[in-house]
Structure 1
Amino acid sequence: MTEEDPLELPRGIALAWGVAATPQRGPKREMSVERIVDAAVALADAEGIGAVSMAAVAARLGFTPMSLYRYVSAKDDLLLLMQEEATGIPPESHLEAEGWRGRLVALYQEQVLLYLRHPWMLSLPITGSPITPHSSAWLDASLAALESTPLDAEERLAVALAVTGHARWCGIVQAGYSEQSRTSGMTPEEITMRESALFDRVITADEYPALRAAIDERAFLSEADPFRFGVERMLDGVEAYIDRIDRGEPHVSTDEWVDLDRAELSGDRRVKEAQKSVREAEKALRVARKAERQALREARERIAKAAARD
């Protein structure tokens, strides 16, 4: 490829943008990429992403798998198109919110709802920026919400990604609870009570003092939304940063990434064995410290009993 040649779009992305070649022969009226994707999304919504296969989608449509491959040539492309269809475009209602912060919160809430409607989307791997029309529209909406601020392009993108990350994390947890409720028959409140009781049974103040204190303060039984609290406090920080820029303070560059040594990713057997030895040593240290705490507690009890007798 030369500098003048345009980069060829992968098949799935080309299909999403409507610029891929379509079959010239076959059941054109009965079959289309749109019908295939709609059927796959309906299947995933009803039975989960594990139920989606080219054969299952074909059966749902009343065709053979080979018929599908003439329109969508790989399952990875189908998954990308399913994600694109389920994502849709951001609702215009977010434009009615007040200010950049209100719009971002509205977009956050809508993204969480997307994950609750289509929890299978959370199972799809993240392989890079989703360069598709609908996903691009969501990112564009977040960036547009920040256009009135003094943030530069990199900072606006960072804030948009942070909001998306908060929404995804909330979606993961909320969808998990919804699935547990569906499979167990318990209400969300019953699940919360059960989890609190399990925590109460196994978490001790000696071994997990901060967690034990949170349990005793009934933090896990609170009806407050911890995810909304997190995204609001993150936006507090952005707002304070914007205020500093408005006062003439310089932009802050944060160009350091969390870096992992390439050797850790190499799959080297000796590295993996050494890491396993470290984990085992850390586990043994935790066990030893637990035994020490137990011994100290018992010693204090003996001293107290002896003092009471005296």
Structure 2
Amino acid sequence: MTDVEPPELPRGIALAWGVAANPQRGPKREMSVEKIVEAAVELADAEGLGAVSMAAVASKLGFTPMSLYRYVSAKDDLLLLMQEEATGLPPEEHREQDGWRAQLRALFEAQAHLYLAHPWLLAIPITGSPITPSSSAWLDAALAALEPTPLNPVERLAVALSVTGAARWYGIVVAGYAEQSRSSGLGPDEITAREAELFDRVITAEEFPALRAAIEAGVFLSEDDPFRFGIERIFDGIESYIAGLDGGAERTASEPWPEEESAELADDKKVRDARKAVRAAEKALRDARKLERQAVKEATERIARRQ
């Protein structure tokens, strides 16, 4: 037993769970948190997250901004509720898949599709775990898929976060290309071909030998999906790790992140000076390469004029 009171739920989270107090005054029936959130999502879907403001949502509903504040008192709360509404619950079909790998793959694809359907979700800053019903349901689904494995709870969470992170990165790229296609009028194949041509123009074997070799191999025109390849290799690694556990391998402590080591050395003057010198050298190298490219360009133009 303890006398310490649990922390009070922030209003946005309380609204998401349906446990926030209703406003005592304000428009009746015509206004509700649900209608406010639906209107905000419609605005974001049509015009992007930048179009969403309390004033814009109020105008769409035919009320004053002050009327909205009685229901949703902060813009951050509105964003949280919009994220909750757009995310929804994970598809039940993933449960029909055979085995944890197939189930996680289905969740990965469903999350990536969410970002394509609502690309503005990617513009909401990550400030912590969104402790809401829908986000909790997605995490619960991933953890449930891993329950039959010998992974411990911390490892299951790490795998779930890896899948979520891969889906978000996939969504960022796919949504970005979809927006470029809409704004430019070019089809996906045309965008790919144009990018390949630009790479071909500026990447030289002398400066970027490995990248040039990849260009010559046609990687930027390949129809293979590098993101699906990547998630499958993540699954391969997890399978290999699980196989080691089944064989009796012991878990080992994780190595510290490089950032953690850097933080410990951040106050060391010699380290700071050395890193400053490295940055200066890297800048000098970039400048030298820029001068080299310019000299080669000018020499090529002179030769062309002589001919």
Same fold (TM over 0.5): yes
Whole-Å Cα distance in 2 between the matches of residues 292 and 44 of structure 1?
46
Q: Point out where structure 1 has 5 or more consecutive residues left out of the alignment.
A: 266-270, 296-310
Q: 8 Å contact 2:25–2:70 — kept in the other structure?
A: no
Q: Point out where structure 2 has 5 or more consecutive residues left out of the alignment.
A: 296-307
Whole-Å Cα distance in 1 between the matches of residues 16 and 179 of structure 2?
30
Q: 8 Å contact 1:150–1:245 — kept in the other structure?
A: yes
Share of identical aligned residues, percent? Answer: 70
- 1:251 offset after TM fit, Å? 1.9
- 1:256 offset after TM fit, Å? 2.1
Q: Hey, what does 2:160 align to over in structure 1?
A: 160
Q: Hey, what does 1:261 align to over in structure 2?
A: 263
- 1:285 offset after TM fit, Å? 2.2
Q: Is residue 2:125 matched to residue 1:125?
A: yes
Q: Hey, what does 1:82 align to over in structure 2?
A: 82
Whole-Å Cα distance in 2 between the matches of residues 54 and 277 of structure 1?
48
Q: Hey, what does 2:94 align to over in structure 1?
A: 94
For 1:105, the aligned partner's letter is: R
Q: Is residue 2:57 matched to residue 1:57?
A: yes
CA gap 1:65/1:292 in 2 versus in 1, 3 angstroms: closer
Secondary structure of the structure 2 residue equivalent to 1:136: helix
- 1:278 offset after TM fit, Å? 4.8
Matches within 5 A, 1:271-290: 278-288=278-288
Secondary structure of the structure 2 residue equivalent to 1:236: helix
Q: Hey, what does 1:134 align to over in structure 2?
A: 134
CA gap 1:275/1:59 in 2 versus in 1, 3 angstroms: farther
Q: Which whole-Å deviations, capped at 9, do the CAs of 1:188-238 have from their partners, x for residues lacking one?
A: 110000000000000000101111111100001111110000000011000
For 2:4, the aligned partner's letter is: E
Whole-Å Cα distance in 1 between the matches of residues 288 and 51 of structure 2?
46
- 1:98 offset after TM fit, Å? 1.0
Whole-Å Cα distance in 2 between the matches of residues 30 and 172 of structure 1?
36
For 1:31, the aligned partner's letter is: M
Note the aligned Cα RMSD (angstroms): 2.4
Q: 8 Å contact 1:104–1:145 — kept in the other structure?
A: yes
For 1:123, the aligned partner's letter is: A
Q: Hey, what does 1:198 align to over in structure 2?
A: 198
Instruction: Name the count of aligned residue pairs.
Output: 289
Q: Hey, what does 2:35 align to over in structure 1?
A: 35
Whole-Å Cα distance in 1 between the matches of residues 264 and 65 of structure 2?
41
Q: Hey, what does 1:299 align to over in structure 2?
A: none
Q: Hey, what does 1:66 align to over in structure 2?
A: 66
- 1:291 offset after TM fit, Å? 6.7
Q: Is residue 2:29 matched to residue 1:5?
A: no
Q: Is residue 2:225 matched to residue 1:222?
A: no
Question: TM-score w.r.t. structure 2 length?
Answer: 0.88
For 1:53, the aligned partner's letter is: S
Whole-Å Cα distance in 2 between the matches of residues 21 and 185 of structure 1?
48
Q: Which whole-Å deviations, capped at 9, do the CAs of 1:104-136 have from their partners, x for residues lacking one?
A: 000000000000000000011000111111001
Whole-Å Cα distance in 2 between the matches of residues 39 and 115 of structure 1?
19
Whole-Å Cα distance in 1 between the matches of residues 75 and 7 of structure 2?
23
Whole-Å Cα distance in 2 between the matches of residues 51 and 275 of structure 1?
42
**Residue range with higher mean Cα deviation, 221-230 or 2-11:** 2-11
Q: Hey, what does 2:177 align to over in structure 1?
A: 177
Whole-Å Cα distance in 1 between the matches of residues 71 and 276 of structure 2?
47
**Residue range with higher mean Cα deviation, 2-11 or 216-225:** 2-11
For 1:69, the aligned partner's letter is: Y
For 2:45, the aligned partner's letter is: D
**Residue range with higher mean Cα deviation, 20-29 or 37-46:** 20-29
Q: 8 Å contact 1:206–1:293 — kept in the other structure?
A: no
For 1:74, the aligned partner's letter is: A
For 1:61, the aligned partner's letter is: L
